[in-house]
Amino acid sequence: MSRAVKALSTAIGVLMLATSAWPSPAQSPDAKRPNIIFLLLDDMGYADIGAYGNTYHRTPTIDRLAAEGIRFTNAYAAAPNCSPTRGSILTGRWPARTGVTQYLPGNVLPYARMLQPELPVGLPLDEKILPEPLAKAGYSTACVGKWHLGGGDYLPDRRGFGESFGLGHLGPRTMFAPFRIPVPGATDGDYLTDLLTDAAERFIERNRDTPFFLYMSYYSVHAPIQAKPELIDSYAGRNDPSGRNYAVYAAMVEGVDRSVQRLMAKLEHLGLDENTAVFFFSDNGGVPQRAFNGGFRSGKGYIWEGGIREPLIVRWPESIRPGSVEDTPVTSVDFYPTILEMAGAADVSGHTSDGVSLLPLLEGSGAIDRPALFWHYPHYSNAGSAPMGAIRKGPWKLIEFFEDSHVEIYNLETDPAESSDLAKTDPRRARLMHEELAAWRDSVGARLAVPNPEFDPARARQRRALQYKTEWDPTDPVQSGR
Ligand SMILES: [Ca+2]
């Protein structure tokens, strides 16, 4: 439909609304509630897409989302890896509060300098998640793709999602069918990103007449790094200014862009693109060997900026001015209250969110009020990081390293690469921020890493097999995601 015809039909719609004494259901306030699509990428770096400065990867559709919506430059994941950030999105609560502070099931390092707090087997069942209040408000809900918040009773369709389509709790060993868990409709050689998009399209088609919430959680661009051969070939001879020329990774990123293009075309075809809010976000920073983290320090697994600063785009033509850029620091716990406010949905009783609704920023109608952002990562990551915590307050960030209790502070405005520690030159600021971080940990009941009496430097990285709790059966392929 052309813009002129669209404008005309909107005008006719408004006219009908104004003159009709008995509004039909299609004209009730319900019909105006936006559909919400949350596109969640796995391990995508801050600058993996063109809208954030990448000139090697081709991401025209995602760039267009930014051009037609709002792009955040200080958006954060609440954690530097998968499960805790995913939990924070779905609950609106800090990982330190839900207890999911590490990828599940985590790791056991019996000789490390510190003993890590025990993890739950999944996002605790008493945690309320987004689809519940949305369903109560009349939304159809679906989880498509990666979950990583527990198997069995912890899976999305048992947690309030109306339907789910994916590979269970964990990730795939291959991006090409056959997978270790059969996927309905998949034939050998099918690409996983495309299959998820197929499922999302079917969900959108089926729910075109009711408001819907689609949690679209791509397995890309997490390992295994695999892409369709024709896309890989198309990167031959293309200039990567980083010098890596990792065509497979680039093609994997572009594979997502092509899927997003299909979803946007579907929305437009159904006349839903104006009143659908589309979020684009990544669950943690990129792996530095392949991803572009925008010049920020380090990557996945660390709470240096490279591990937690994320691309965040929201397109919602009904309410967002095209081409907006927002510098206010925001975090993944904010999505829950934002989405509820967008949907006009009341929260479920007994649930409290740690987040702040971003609607004033999205609409350009005002600022948000929040004293600080916090991170609590009392764990060892696969990338080699040791237990750490952080607070960001204005341009200032303090990082606490739990193994030796030392702190560092950085001014992110003047030193976004976190290269110059100012803790010794500004000890008062360091002390105040450290106290605020510790007080926050107390307030959310954060579980701490503690000194390990068995610490053995030579064997510190040696792992022991996990002892699973009885409610999660690791021999069950559906639960374990194998
Ligand atoms: Ca991840």
The domains of the chain, with CATH numbers, are: 31-371 (3.40.720.10), 375-465 (3.30.1120.10)
Question: Cα-atom radius of gyration of the chain, to the nearest Å?
Answer: 22
Q: What distance in angstroms lies between residue 453's CA and the mean position of ligand 1's atoms?
A: 32
Residue 110, judged by CB atoms within 10 A of its CB (0-12, 13-18, 19+), counts as middle
Detail the DSSP E strand segments found in 107-246.
114-115, 140-145, 163-165, 212-217
The structure tokens 């006219």 sit at 15
* Contact between residue 447 and residue 378 where contact means Cβ atoms under 8 Å apart: yes
Distance separating alpha carbons of residues 321 and 74, to the nearest angstrom? 19
pTM: 0.92
* Ranges of the chain with pLDDT below 70: 1-31, 467-482
Report the interhelical angle of 60-67 vs 247-269 (nearest 10°): 50
Q: Tell me which residues are annotated as active site.
A: 82, 148
426 CA → ligand 1 middle, Å: 35
Type of residue at 16: M
Q: Do residues 387 and 402 touch, judged by C-beta distance below 8 A?
A: yes
Instruction: Tell me how far apart the terminal alpha carbons of the chain are, to the nearest angstrom.
Output: 45
| pLDDT computed for residue 467 by the predictor | 66
Residue 217 Cα to ligand 1 midpoint, Å, equals 11
The whole-angstrom separation of Cα 418 and Cα 224 is 30
| Cα angle 396-400-403, degrees, rounded to a multiple of 5 | 165
Q: Identify the pLDDT of residue 341.
A: 97
Q: In angstroms, what is the span from residue 44 Cα to ligand 1's centroid?
A: 8
Count CB atoms within 10 A of the CB of residue 403.
15
Q: How far is the centre of ligand 1, averaged over its atoms, from the C-alpha of 221 (Å)?
A: 8
CA 226 / ligand 1 centre spacing (Å): 16
Nearest partner of 146 among 114, 170, 119, 181, judged by Cα: 170
Closest CA to 296 of 140, 153, 415: 415
At residue 8, the pLDDT reads 46
